[in-house]
Chain A
Amino acid sequence: MLHRHLSTRKSVKGKECRAQVDGQDYEAVIGIETHVQLSTLTKAFCSCPSKYGSHPNSNVCPICMGLPGCLPVLNERVVESAVKLGVALHCQLSLKSKFDRKQYFYPDLPKGYQISQHDIPIARNGFVDVDIPMEFGGGHRRFCITRVHMEEDAGKLIHAGNDRLSGSFYTQVDLNRAGVPLLEIVSEPDMRSGVEAAEYAAELQRMVRYLGVSNGNMQEGSLRCDVNVSVRPKEDLPFGTKVEIKNMNSFSAMQRAIDFEISRQVTLHQEGQGDKIVQETRLWEEESQRTITMRVKEGLADYRYFPEPDLPEVILTQDYIDALKASLPELPDEKRRRYERMGLSMQDVIILANDSDVATFFDAVLEKGADVKMAANWIMGDIAAFLKSEKLSISEIKLTPLELADLIALIKDGTISGKIGKEVLVELLAKGGSVKALIEEKGLVQISDPDVIESMVDKILAENPKQLEQYRGGKTKLQGFFVGQVMKASKGKANPTLLSKILLDKLNAKQ
């Protein structure tokens, strides 16, 4: 997680800049609808397990299959998750909201309608604060949230012989996903670039993970973004024709898709072909790195919304909201601000705070009394490199925060050298165990006794008279050679600061 965040997003930097250069006189307006699949144990309106990856149609019952006579009963965990996210997004919560039916025919929709919330969502008028990564220029942004509402997911269609229903030999319906609870989060059209949009989505992902309401996994479809993009001449008030983009399964794809779409629309405007931008849904094609037309919208779909008569209104009490509010963990933005106050650079803040596992580890290390900057460096340096090469997440390593704190303390007080520290760390990461036991066992305690170091230096100088003469003749670069020799003799345990002081004294001693 830690390394992926950095490496994959870097690659789009070039394209992002190009779009901005081309579009100097134009401005993109981006709004995002995000669907987050909640990680409740059971579905929204029945008691089927809400599990990903089960055998098709194994997590179904008469209710989520839409059999005649079946009725929905709301899973209270869905309301709880919605309230948590609503609070985290600084929304105004509706003490009284209701469910509505959104009606359309499709084989993955067993009842012929989706239970959703139409005119009275559970939460509205919120905002989210994000920090743009330093490699994209950094800076703070606030994006407004229009609404958060609860609804159920549809099933899944599996087509044979074509990737769409029309033209396939046959199509199978898997209803495992039907009735899985979703929160739909609708943003205001506040984003202006691919990176802002991707950062907004990434922040939502962090938020749902921090809150524990969803795993936010884009590949599994637990977090899906539909992005509306339009461009308009700068300083123009009316929005241009908006195009919806779907099918992006990573933040980096989102960023690339949006930037592609912006430059496509800007180019059309610049060529005087602005009227060729039509209201449509376009798909991001990963292979060709472009968006292609999926369907052109002919008029507004009429979903014939009306209040769901099978479910009572959703009534929230202020006490209930307050209790959930009090139970919320520290949220990503709060964490970033706290790290910033501790004196960490924005770069470090973002890396440490943006992965809740990393942040938890980091906080635990600090709690054991470790030096902030050293802890940050170890986590972002050697530990991150280890995670990357082993393809592990920080929650999977054997090193405990306590041991890292001990290691840092031992380096800081000079018991071991930083170099030894690195060696010990590799062992601790792979096998676990105690830092102290390990350095005792291997005799890795740093030699900090000046007398011992002095005698080692004396010995080396005596063994290398030729180099000593050259040094004293002006070839001062040989200092490194002597350091290396002493380190070799001490098996790396000589305190480097002490060593270099004593060595210099000896080398430069008046004859």
Chain B
Amino acid sequence: MDKVIIDGAIVDNLWRRLEGESLENALPEGKIIVPLAYWQANRDTLIARGEVAVWLAPGEEPRDLEDDLQQLPLIAIHFPAFKDGRGYSYARELRTRYGFKGEIRATGDVLRDQLFYLQRCGFNAFEIRSDRSIEDALAGLKDFTVSYQGDVMDPRPIYRRA
């Protein structure tokens, strides 16, 4: 089974992210992460099915899920390219504006050297790009031991910490 980093540990990936053709046929068994548009079009059926989460592409904002957050155990934010930094703001917004407590997972072009910042913005799960070592990537969560700003893990900037 694929692996994923969740809360700092490498574990089995129980969720499957669906896109494109895989949505045209019957949905597979098990835990699935569907695109926002698919969720919006099939909300009731999906809620009845259960074990469903939603993923956001760049340009799709947390606001679009505002009324659904209670239903969702997990929201994935997809990075088609690691340089597209919109997802950092989306994750932070999910945590601090909407108080989302479920899993926020980074998918796509997710690499070791971005993990530290992603984690600070509220991501707690990372699907590392499949051609890279997930064990190696884990080290990226510990690049720094100190930060000036507050963040999702500790909202206090350095000048408010004891």
Q: Is B a genuine binding partner of A?
A: no
Q: Which residues of B contact A (CB under 8 A)?
A: none
Q: Which residues of A contact B (CB under 8 A)?
A: none
